[in-house]
Structure 1
Amino acid sequence: MADLLNTNPNDTYGDDAIVTLSPREHIRLRPGMYIGKLGDGSQADDGIYVLIKEVVDNSVDEFIMGAGHRVEITVEQNVVTVRDYGRGIPLKSLAAAVSEMNTGGKYGGSAFKKTVGLNGVGVKAVNMLSSEFTARSVRDGEARTVTFAKGLEQSDRWESGVAEKNGTLISFRVDEEVFGQYAYNLEYVEQMVKNYTYLNLGLTFCLNGRNYVSKNGLLDLLGENLTEEPLYAPIHLSGDDIEVAITHGTGYGESYFSFVNGQYTSQGGTHQAAFREAIAKTVKEFFHKDYDPSDIRTSVIAAISVKVTDPVFESQTKIKLGSKEIEPGVSMRNFVMDFLGKHLDDYLHKHPETAQTLQKKIVENEKERKAISGIQKKARETAKKVSLNNRKLRDCKIHFTDRSELAEQSMIFITEGDSASGSITASRDVRTQAVFSLRGKPLNCYGLTKKVVYENEEFNLLQAALNIEEDMENLRYNKVIIATDADVDGMHIRLLLTSFFLQFFPDVIRTGHLYILQTPLFRVRNRKKTFYCYSDEERQRAIAECGAGVEITRFKGLGEISSVEFKEFIGENMRLDRVRLTKDDPIHDLLEFYMGKNTFERQGFIIDNLRIEEDLVEQDLKIS
């Protein structure tokens, strides 16, 4: 014992403790540094979709350089194949181009300009994170095919006299040793493909046999994503290295879709910031009125695409642009400002009916803002006073706005009651997980103005906790998670909170930050095994696996789950359902039907769809 106490910790830190990893080993050990989170395919930003994008980016770059007008993608039985008809990777360099880090044709020169894949990492990461990987290039009747497994070369075959068209084929199966069990959601792949078509007019994508092509660029994108009738026909403007589309809806918040060299920058960046500023400045100068920028931008729905020379992103996943110049010597801010200052101003002069509708909307926004300014000031003071001792908020240490590797893991659970919040609070990771506790069912805010957000203490404190009163730029948590019981009351609270965000902060949903926490309905165990089941089907499978002597517990609410067990449900195995909006979701109609005043139609719907089932196990049972 004395020897252990006298052990010097420095004795274990010698030269043999210093480890040098190969690029392949590093990517497989730390994949998050290259593709963001891993995930199981249930979320659109999971790593398996990033890997598809890394491959497709190269095919799109070929099109941007004027080579190839068709990209074919198949996703079958977890094998992804991407075939383009560009120039084809130079044959002698094929193996190195897909396996050796910092090797590529995009480090200068004229082979590629204003492209996305510039770091020489993307397709190599795909190779090293795949259990099977094939790269084939065809150039002028000659072809070369190389295969790999987990980044290690398996075969290399050369051919001559082939009749195939020039281009590159990449095929891969993501390695389950790294990712675990996963499944592709083709809706996410389809949306990725659509985004590529909007930004690359003339480029046809074929996904699993279905063709996708855009004729009107960002105008098509806005039409695909509008969830309400716009106040005026979208304004569509384009020029050298820039394209924008702008309209206004009737809701709150601002909604932007921004792209750089065809890459969807979901977190915006310098181009989106310049765009927001330019819209306000141009409109103010057009009307010769000193309107508040927030009154101009409230309810805006817009898209911007720019092409940047050697773009700088804030991470390898390229979801936020950091470039301050669109090309050497040309400021991003000035470029966007000058473009909108001329072309948006010209458009409004040529379309007085659009200008009139826009001004009417601005005036309405101004009136509402001034009407609530008094109560808004008081509410802000209240929120500020309680921020240091907010009984409803158990904050975390790292937030989405921090410059930290863990920033994207930040989340806040919105719970019902003290018992549920107590279990989550006791089991959470205090670094990245915050808890906001409701005292009961929140107010149904459908049909109310934003004044209620400031009059209602819980709503006011919630918007202050999220820091989204002004805009989404300062959102403090990457995931806003509604965590309620899986019963009728819990479902009702989910609807009420979802209505709150849809009504006043739709950008939280549009930008993919709102989630529903799935918690287990049953615990099935014997002396050796414990299973947590989220459905009756999972319960039946668990019972069969446990065999005789199984014990079944039916969880009525979150408060019944111990804090020790809760770690299982909000950790690595956490199940989340993202709340999504598409053009097929008529927000106003849905809110009116489900959250508006009671109607005979809704009563009839409830009666027609009412299901009476046998009571599930309500207490612990022992089955022998």
Structure 2
Amino acid sequence: MQEQTQYTEDNIRSLDWKEHIRMRPGMYIGKLGDGSTPDDGIYILIKEVIDNSIDEFVMGTGKTIEVTIKDRMVTIRDYGRGIPLGKVVDVVSKMNTGGKYDSKAFKKSVGLNGVGTKAVNALSNFFRVESVRDGQLKVAEFSAGNLMLEEDVVETTRRKGTKVSFTADETIFKNYKFRKEYIEKMLKNYCYLNTGLTIIFNGEKFYSDNGLKDLLEENIDQEDMVYPIIHLLGNDIEIAITHSKSQYSEEYYSFVNGQNTTQGGTHLGAFREGVVRTIKEFYNKNFEASDIRKSIVAAISIKVEEPVFESQTKTKLGSTDMGLDAPTVRTYINDFIKNNLDNFLHKNPEVAEALLKKILQAERERKELSGIRKLAKDRAKKASLHNKKLRDCRVHLTDIKNPRYLESTLFITEGNSASGSITKSRDVNTQAVFSLRGKPLNSYGMSKKIVYENEEFNLLQAALDIEEDYENLRYNNIVLATDADVDGMHIRLLMITFFLQFFPELIKEGHLYILQTPLFRVRNKKKTIYCYSEEERVAAIEELKPKPEITRFKGLGEISPDEFVNFIGQDIRLDPVMLDKASSIEQLLEFYMGKNTPDRQGFIIKNLKVELDVVEDKKKADLIESE
């Protein structure tokens, strides 16, 4: 008979605030990560501190915020009112302590739960807070949430405000590094949403005069706009809208109380509905919603009293009401769009005409595609029953209430040997595998029709569930896992071309990555080290001397499933695929995938030395291995 487990008072344990945060960090900051993805915890730590400074700006104090990152030390300085000196320690180390519970003081605050800076404190090996008020300074220092130093209040000539410095705990955030691009995007968004605010990041100044209009101009080239941006402002609401000439899908930037709701929510649903309804009524035509919204690029920001989000990281709004005695979010947004967008179109007939042409063009394209789309869907449905391309996982990005939804990953692999190794070693809960037959088609310059005609592209589109829009995107991370040789890099380029051509938002929103796999394994009888570069190999040999065994991996298929688990688990290394604002998507595709121009020939010749160096390194590695 099975022995019964005793359940007594001894089994009950109470954790203090910092122990709970350190034991369950995902509850407070989402996934941990190493900084390769924009929703990794190290960026949430920065955001939580800046949110407090933003609230000071919203309350009318502190028009400048300074952010400095040097050698993993993050420092954020605002010039707001400063934390009340007698409560400095409590505010950063006692749960349910803060100024935001008084709804009169922080009516539409970014964060209302009083957890933010406590989580940063608990998850940092060094945390220092300084507050200046009325010519007086109070300083406290912590480590892993434990108070290490509390100085007496002293007189100072420094300007009022709060300064927080911290380094994330490397035992929790392993091998992490900050990516400048992600931080800049976050800081620019703060400026777009708070016109008049200046943020200085490592000496570079960010500022916005025109709010969401500036945001769209940052993300879409003027030549690619069907019509100039429609920018509408109201009480607690701001929207900006245009349509793209080149992209196929819808693209939205949505915010609530200054928080970037990357997963949308009730406000984005109401916005999409309101735009369709208003345009139908304006033209008095029963257009398909998909034709109206095709190629739309838009942004919406609203302010809600005490918003309810569907997760601690506040990426999806769940609130249905704007506040006490206020209309519903849906009614408020629909009424605003109906009145203001309708008025704008009446006053700007040239915009109305350009928009109508775009909708009619979308309608024609949809009808042309309808036959082939139906065939492709039937084929995909049949294929999915027998299809060996996709080995799916259990948790998806649409499972917003599952705490692991942000970890959902699709590996796109070349050939059966590589996909076999990943499939056997993956986490079946969060990691899926899509296997390519070989080199995919070069889709540059082709129409969306090819996505349906090409079986591989069609099955990939179905696996991602992005045919209509991005709301149903099933994986947060789409990872190109190819060999680090010429063929593997060509496959990467062809796949990046596919995404740039038809689904650029996946890249713009930071969903596409390249998997780094080790070039070498260095080991002795006691320890194994996987090396991703020549420098790491040299360091590993030095550490494991005198005569460690050295193996060079020539392709993913050579790595056994038992070893592969080390590269796609907690210590996974990903390189994000990012767009350079200096070049448009059209220019990028034309340069790399278009006809072989003298410019590209010059580029290849100029960069050929890098490739030759890589070949030389491989020869050296083969020599070492043979020895």
Question: What is the TM-score with the length of structure 2 in the denominator?
Answer: 0.94
Cα shift at 1:176? 2.1
Determine helix, strand or coil for the equivalent of 1:176. Answer: coil
Candidates 381, 397, 400, aligned match of 1:400:
397
Aligned position for 1:247: 242
In the alignment, the residues of structure 2 paired with residue 24 and residue 517 of structure 1 have an alpha-carbon distance, to the nearest angstrom, of: 34
Count, aligned residues: 618
Candidates 282, 288, 292, aligned match of 1:292:
288
Counterpart residue identity of residue 463, structure 1: Q
1:554–1:619 CA contact under 8 A, matched in 2: yes
Please list every run of 5 or more consecutive structure 1 residues that lacks an aligned counterpart in the other structure.
1-5
2:421–2:561 CA contact under 8 A, matched in 1: yes
Per-residue Cα deviation, 1:523-545 (whole angstroms, up to 9, x for no partner) = 22233332222222222222333
Q: Which segment is superposed worse, 473-482 or 605-614?
A: 605-614
* Equivalences for residues 508-547 of structure 1 within 5 A: 508-547=506-545
Cα shift at 1:619? 5.4
Aligned position for 1:382: 379
Cα shift at 1:324? 1.1
Aligned position for 1:232: 227
In the alignment, the residues of structure 2 paired with residue 88 and residue 336 of structure 1 have an alpha-carbon distance, to the nearest angstrom, of: 35
In the alignment, the residues of structure 1 paired with residue 625 and residue 441 of structure 2 have an alpha-carbon distance, to the nearest angstrom, of: 41
Cα shift at 1:602? 3.2
2:26–2:403 CA contact under 8 A, matched in 1: no
Cα shift at 1:122? 0.3
Q: Which segment is superposed worse, 183-192 or 360-369?
A: 183-192
* Equivalences for residues 182-331 of structure 1 within 5 A: 182-226=176-220, 229-249=224-244, 250-328=246-324, 329-331=326-328
Counterpart residue identity of residue 88, structure 2: L
Determine helix, strand or coil for the equivalent of 2:565. Answer: helix
1:282–1:345 CA contact under 8 A, matched in 2: yes
Aligned position for 1:430: 428
1:193–1:205 CA contact under 8 A, matched in 2: yes
Candidates 2, 13, 31, aligned match of 1:19:
13
Aligned position for 1:166: 160
Aligned position for 2:563: 565
In the alignment, the residues of structure 1 paired with residue 411 and residue 24 of structure 2 have an alpha-carbon distance, to the nearest angstrom, of: 28
Cα shift at 1:138? 2.3
Per-residue Cα deviation, 1:266-310 (whole angstroms, up to 9, x for no partner) = 221111111111112212211111111111111111111111111
Aligned position for 2:577: 579
Per-residue Cα deviation, 1:165-215 (whole angstroms, up to 9, x for no partner) = 332222222222322343323332222221111111111222233332211
* Equivalences for residues 98-109 of structure 1 within 5 A: 98-109=92-103
Cα shift at 1:411? 1.1
1:357 and 2:351 are equivalent in the alignment: no
Determine helix, strand or coil for the equivalent of 2:249. Answer: coil
In the alignment, the residues of structure 1 paired with residue 353 and residue 580 of structure 2 have an alpha-carbon distance, to the nearest angstrom, of: 29
Cα shift at 1:623? 7.0
Q: Which segment is superposed worse, 309-318 or 138-147?
A: 138-147
Aligned position for 1:116: 110
Per-residue Cα deviation, 1:143-182 (whole angstroms, up to 9, x for no partner) = 3222222212233334354333332222222222322343
* Equivalences for residues 551-562 of structure 1 within 5 A: 551-562=549-560
In the alignment, the residues of structure 1 paired with residue 273 and residue 217 of structure 2 have an alpha-carbon distance, to the nearest angstrom, of: 24
Candidates 604, 612, 619, aligned match of 1:616:
619
Per-residue Cα deviation, 1:295-338 (whole angstroms, up to 9, x for no partner) = 11111111111111111111111111111112223111111111
CA spacing shift, 1:585–1:19, aligned 2, 3 Å = farther
In the alignment, the residues of structure 2 paired with residue 181 and residue 396 of structure 1 have an alpha-carbon distance, to the nearest angstrom, of: 26
Per-residue Cα deviation, 1:106-138 (whole angstroms, up to 9, x for no partner) = 123411110112001001111111222222222
Determine helix, strand or coil for the equivalent of 1:147. Answer: strand
CA spacing shift, 1:137–1:610, aligned 2, 3 Å = closer
1:235–1:245 CA contact under 8 A, matched in 2: yes
Counterpart residue identity of residue 535, structure 1: S
1:134–1:145 CA contact under 8 A, matched in 2: yes
1:556–1:618 CA contact under 8 A, matched in 2: no
2:550–2:625 CA contact under 8 A, matched in 1: yes
Please list every run of 5 or more consecutive structure 2 residues that lacks an aligned counterpart in the other structure.
none
Cα shift at 1:14? 4.3
In the alignment, the residues of structure 1 paired with residue 428 and residue 200 of structure 2 have an alpha-carbon distance, to the nearest angstrom, of: 46
Determine helix, strand or coil for the equivalent of 2:306. Answer: coil
Candidates 72, 80, 91, aligned match of 1:78:
72
Cα shift at 1:603? 3.8
Determine helix, strand or coil for the equivalent of 1:330. Answer: coil
Cα shift at 1:591? 0.7
Q: Sequence identity, in percent? A: 60
Q: Which segment is superposed worse, 460-469 or 612-621?
A: 612-621
2:419–2:435 CA contact under 8 A, matched in 1: yes
1:553–1:620 CA contact under 8 A, matched in 2: no
CA spacing shift, 1:391–1:181, aligned 2, 3 Å = closer
Per-residue Cα deviation, 1:81-107 (whole angstroms, up to 9, x for no partner) = 222222222222222111100111212
Per-residue Cα deviation, 1:4-59 (whole angstroms, up to 9, x for no partner) = xx772525x54423322111100011111101122223332221221111111111
Aligned position for 1:3: none
In the alignment, the residues of structure 2 paired with residue 78 and residue 479 of structure 1 have an alpha-carbon distance, to the nearest angstrom, of: 25
In the alignment, the residues of structure 1 paired with residue 165 and residue 599 of structure 2 have an alpha-carbon distance, to the nearest angstrom, of: 52
* Cα root mean square deviation, aligned: 2.0
In the alignment, the residues of structure 2 paired with residue 9 and residue 623 of structure 1 have an alpha-carbon distance, to the nearest angstrom, of: 58
In the alignment, the residues of structure 2 paired with residue 229 and residue 371 of structure 1 have an alpha-carbon distance, to the nearest angstrom, of: 23
Counterpart residue identity of residue 117, structure 1: G
Aligned position for 1:462: 460
Counterpart residue identity of residue 75, structure 1: I
CA spacing shift, 1:526–1:153, aligned 2, 3 Å = closer
1:178 and 2:172 are equivalent in the alignment: yes
Determine helix, strand or coil for the equivalent of 1:577. Answer: strand
Per-residue Cα deviation, 1:538-572 (whole angstroms, up to 9, x for no partner) = 22222333334333222221111111111111111
CA spacing shift, 1:138–1:601, aligned 2, 3 Å = closer
Counterpart residue identity of residue 41, structure 1: G
CA spacing shift, 1:376–1:313, aligned 2, 3 Å = same
CA spacing shift, 1:486–1:374, aligned 2, 3 Å = same
Determine helix, strand or coil for the equivalent of 1:610. Answer: helix
1:74–1:82 CA contact under 8 A, matched in 2: yes
In the alignment, the residues of structure 2 paired with residue 604 and residue 200 of structure 1 have an alpha-carbon distance, to the nearest angstrom, of: 44
In the alignment, the residues of structure 2 paired with residue 186 and residue 572 of structure 1 have an alpha-carbon distance, to the nearest angstrom, of: 23
Cα shift at 1:621? 5.2
2:248–2:503 CA contact under 8 A, matched in 1: yes
Cα shift at 1:601? 4.1
Cα shift at 1:575? 0.8
Determine helix, strand or coil for the equivalent of 1:405. Answer: coil
1:62 and 2:59 are equivalent in the alignment: no
Question: What is the TM-score with the length of structure 1 in the denominator?
Answer: 0.95
1:235–1:246 CA contact under 8 A, matched in 2: yes
2:37–2:510 CA contact under 8 A, matched in 1: no
1:245–1:302 CA contact under 8 A, matched in 2: yes
Determine helix, strand or coil for the equivalent of 1:62. Answer: helix
In the alignment, the residues of structure 2 paired with residue 9 and residue 568 of structure 1 have an alpha-carbon distance, to the nearest angstrom, of: 37
In the alignment, the residues of structure 2 paired with residue 158 and residue 125 of structure 1 have an alpha-carbon distance, to the nearest angstrom, of: 25
In the alignment, the residues of structure 1 paired with residue 339 and residue 251 of structure 2 have an alpha-carbon distance, to the nearest angstrom, of: 23
